[in-house]
Amino acid sequence: MDWSIQEIAKLAGTTSRTLRHYDDIGLLAPARIASNGYRHYDADSLVRLQRILLLRELGLGLPAIAEVLDREDRAPHALRGHLEWLRREQHRLTRQIASVEHTIDALEGGERLMAEQMFDGFDHTEYKEEVEQRWGVDAYARSDAWWRSMSADEKRDWQGRMSQLSADWIAASERGVDPAGNEAQALAQRHFDWLRGIPGTPGGGAEGPSREYFLGLAEMYVADERFGANYGGVDGARFVRDAMTAYAERNL
Amino acid sequence: MDWSIQEIAKLAGTTSRTLRHYDDIGLLAPARIASNGYRHYDADSLVRLQRILLLRELGLGLPAIAEVLDREDRAPHALRGHLEWLRREQHRLTRQIASVEHTIDALEGGERLMAEQMFDGFDHTEYKEEVEQRWGVDAYARSDAWWRSMSADEKRDWQGRMSQLSADWIAASERGVDPAGNEAQALAQRHFDWLRGIPGTPGGGAEGPSREYFLGLAEMYVADERFGANYGGVDGARFVRDAMTAYAERNL
DNA sequence: GTAGAGGTTGACGTTACGTCAAGGTCAAGC
DNA sequence: GCTTGACCTTGACGTAACGTCAACCTCTAC
């Protein structure tokens, strides 16, 4: 049994290019190389090739395949590791499918999800420098880890609440309501609760943000146009600050 | 609002390298480029970048993202196409996971699945030249398409039956039973049924292989050592041929 | 001798950047 | 004015597993 490269490729159901590649990377050398440079394969080559192709169909990478073939007793171990990776991939796909379905629904419902999505990472990383300077690198790191641990769906949910809160702030501000009145104070309460959901903020746990952090944020909204933009500009930011300040004086 | 490349990267939660890449491929150009070559981005850049990153999280490729951003009304259409691809990927992974689990079980059960797997594509493509020469290129193409359309699990199942049939032929041959006797004829019947499952073989449908094809195969097993090897060598192949010939004379 | 089929070694393309490498720019401190 | 350090630039290689030319050699058959 002595086959040319094309012959063994057909026998195994692959291509000659693949065989040259396997030769190049040292995964499967020909049984012999004739004086004219032609590669020739034998039955042992075929067996090894069949095993390579089997493992490849299971999704293993070529380096992993080489390892398994070198130490066949470790095949179950390698396959179990591979299995874990496959399962993780499947879960990732499951989440992605859910996200895409959700996005399609939202877009067809006429929601401007894309704009809403703008808060993805925005407000979060927007805080980075300020948070680090005022509350320490550690606080930011915790907050960052929290954010990154969320799935796309969870992020969108969180962003949706924030986006709604922001829109309500702007609406109230434009209607000229009293920052210290009931309506604005209810918004301030929502703002407080919303912040409570962010670990990494001082007092970001169940007890909620600290008085200093809450007041500091309020001032930041006015001082920094990037923050203020989320509340309808300088005027909106001033309104939010006044309402938050009043809330803090009464409750914190 | 005017941000450097690093600043906007942090704002959006990505890297400056990514932004340069998006600039290179024309997906996101900076708002302006200063005389010193520095890239500068504005709020519009940020909006577009956020949308890019959102779509990227959904698993879309950069060309697809560019298309969606150019024609936002086609986003649902593009996403639905993407969704299909995601589902196909998930099914592929599901099958792969099952295959890996099966393989692990087999290996731990001490089965030499790797050897059994040798029939993957082997016997199939082994037929190629003969089939094409005797029954036409078209027949082989149909057979080939059938084979390639099978999942790894289905292939393994088919191979398993073939492997078992082969082993039974060899065992019967070595026990010296009568090729025209009941036992051998039962094997010939199984062989006939097994061939019936292969489209592309003349009469490969429900009616089963034709008399000529069946007899031709029987002779081939003897004439070609590559075929005969599956039935225990020349002696085994002769036994198989005799049994098949007897079967054909009685039933076909 | 000349097709024609098949063999060889490069080398680029694919996806979305990460990661140096070499060098220019800018603000701050001496 | 010079150095330092942070930040910017372009260029180019590496990634996984081959597909796909390109240019050129080899063998068989007519």
HEC-encoded secondary structure of B135-157: HCHHHHHHHHHHHHHCCHHHHHH
Of the candidates B4, B80, B76, B11, the residue with the CA atom closest to the CA atom of residue B48: B11
**What integer pLDDT is reported at residue B86 of this predicted model?**
94
Select the more confidently predicted residue: B139 or A83.
A83
Angle at A127 between CA A138 and CA B20, to 5 degrees: 105
Complex-level ipTM: 0.59
Asked if A169 and A232 touch (Cβ cutoff 8 Å), the reply is yes
Angle at A121 between CA A119 and CA A122, to 5 degrees: 55
Q: In b/e form, how buried is each residue of B195-216, taking b as 16+ CB within 10 angstroms?
A: bbebebbbbbeeebbbeebbbb
CA atom of A109 to C1′ atom of C4, Å: 63
Asked if A79 and B103 touch (Cβ cutoff 8 Å), the reply is yes
Task: Give the pLDDT band of residue B116 (cuts 50, 70, 90).
Answer: very low
B59 sits within 7 Å of strand C by its CB:
no
Query: Is A54 within 8 Å of B114 when comparing Cβ atoms?
Result: yes
pLDDT digits 0-9 by tens, A207-228: 667 777 777 677 767 766 656 6
- CA dist B202 and A194 (Å) reads 72
How far away is chain B from the Cα of A183, in angstroms, using its nearest Cα? 31
Query: Is B103 within 8 Å of A79 when comparing Cβ atoms?
Result: yes
CB of A82 within 8 Å of a chain B CB? The answer is yes
In this complex, the residue of A96, A108, A114 whose CB is nearest that of residue B86 is A96
Closest residue, chain B, to A69 (C-alpha): B114
Asked if B95 and B152 touch (Cβ cutoff 8 Å), the reply is yes
- For the cut 50, the answer to whether the pLDDT of residue B94 exceeds it is yes
- Judged by average pLDDT, the poorest of A88-97, B12-21, B100-109 is B100-109
| Nearest nucleotide relative to A27: CA against C1' | D17
Q: What is the CA radius of gyration of chain B?
A: 30
Q: Which residues pair with A39 in a beta bridge?
A: A33
Residue B84: Cβ-neighbour burial (10 angstroms; 0-12, 13-18, 19+):
exposed
Q: What is the DSSP string of A15-56?
A: -HHHHHHHHHTTSS--SEE-TTS-EEE-HHHHHHHHHHHHHH
**Chain C bases closer than 7 A to any CB of the protein:** 6-9, 15-19, 24-26
The terminus-to-terminus CA distance of chain B in angstroms comes to 86
Half-sphere exposure for A25 (CA within 13 Å, toward CB): 13
- CA dist A219 and B17 (Å) reads 34
**What integer pLDDT is reported at residue A226 of this predicted model?**
57
B18 sits within 7 Å of strand D by its CB:
no
Asked if B76 and A106 touch (Cβ cutoff 8 Å), the reply is no
- Judged by average pLDDT, the poorest of A196-200, B24-28, B92-96, B248-252 is A196-200
Q: Please list the pLDDT of chain A residue by residue as tens digits (252 residues).
A: 789 999 899 878 889 999 999 999 999 999 999 999 999 999 889 889 988 988 998 999 999 999 999 888 888 899 999 999 999 999 999 989 988 888 888 777 765 544 444 333 334 445 555 555 555 444 444 455 455 545 554 555 566 566 667 767 877 887 788 988 888 888 898 888 777 766 555 555 566 677 777 776 777 677 666 566 677 777 888 899 999 988 988 888
- CA dist A66 and A26 (Å) reads 9
pLDDT digits 0-9 by tens, B58-86: 999 999 999 999 888 888 899 999 999 99
Asked if A200 and A141 touch (Cβ cutoff 8 Å), the reply is yes
Within 135-194 of B, beta carbons closer than 8 Å to A belong to 152
Residue with tokens 């309460």: A189
Query: Is A57 within 8 Å of B99 when comparing Cβ atoms?
Result: yes
CA atom of B49 to C1′ atom of C22, Å: 30
How far away is chain A from the Cα of B206, in angstroms, using its nearest Cα? 26
pLDDT digits 0-9 by tens, B142-187: 445 455 545 554 555 566 566 667 767 877 887 788 988 888 888 8
- CA dist B18 and B52 (Å) reads 11
Task: Give the pLDDT band of residue B117 (cuts 50, 70, 90).
Answer: very low
How far away is chain A from the Cα of B124, in angstroms, using its nearest Cα? 8
Which residue's CA lies closest to nucleotide D6 at its C1' atom? Answer: B6
**For residue B169, what are its two tokens?**
């032929």
Subset of residues 146-205 in chain A with CB less than 7 angstroms from any atom in strand D: none
Q: At what angle do helices B16-24 and B5-12 cross, to 10 degrees?
A: 110
**What integer pLDDT is reported at residue B74 of this predicted model?**
84
Query: Is B79 within 8 Å of A12 when comparing Cβ atoms?
Result: no
**What integer pLDDT is reported at residue B115 of this predicted model?**
43
- Judged by average pLDDT, the poorest of A66-70, A173-177, B17-21, B226-230 is B226-230
Select the more confidently predicted residue: B52 or B218.
B52
Query: Is A80 within 8 Å of B104 when comparing Cβ atoms?
Result: yes
CA atom of A247 to C1′ atom of C25, Å: 48
**What integer pLDDT is reported at residue B18 of this predicted model?**
97
How far away is chain B from the Cα of A51, in angstroms, using its nearest Cα? 6
**What integer pLDDT is reported at residue B204 of this predicted model?**
56
Which residue intervals of chain A are DSSP H helices?
5-12, 16-24, 43-57, 62-70, 75-108, 113-116, 122-126, 128-135, 137-149, 152-174, 182-196, 211-223, 225-228, 233-251
Residues in chain A: 252
Residue B54 CA, chain-centre distance (Å), reads: 33
Task: Give the pLDDT band of residue B224 (cuts 50, 70, 90).
Answer: low
Asked if A227 and A126 touch (Cβ cutoff 8 Å), the reply is yes
**What integer pLDDT is reported at residue B5 of this predicted model?**
95
**What integer pLDDT is reported at residue B33 of this predicted model?**
96
CB of B76 within 8 Å of a chain A CB? The answer is yes
Angle at A168 between CA A164 and CA A172, to 5 degrees: 175
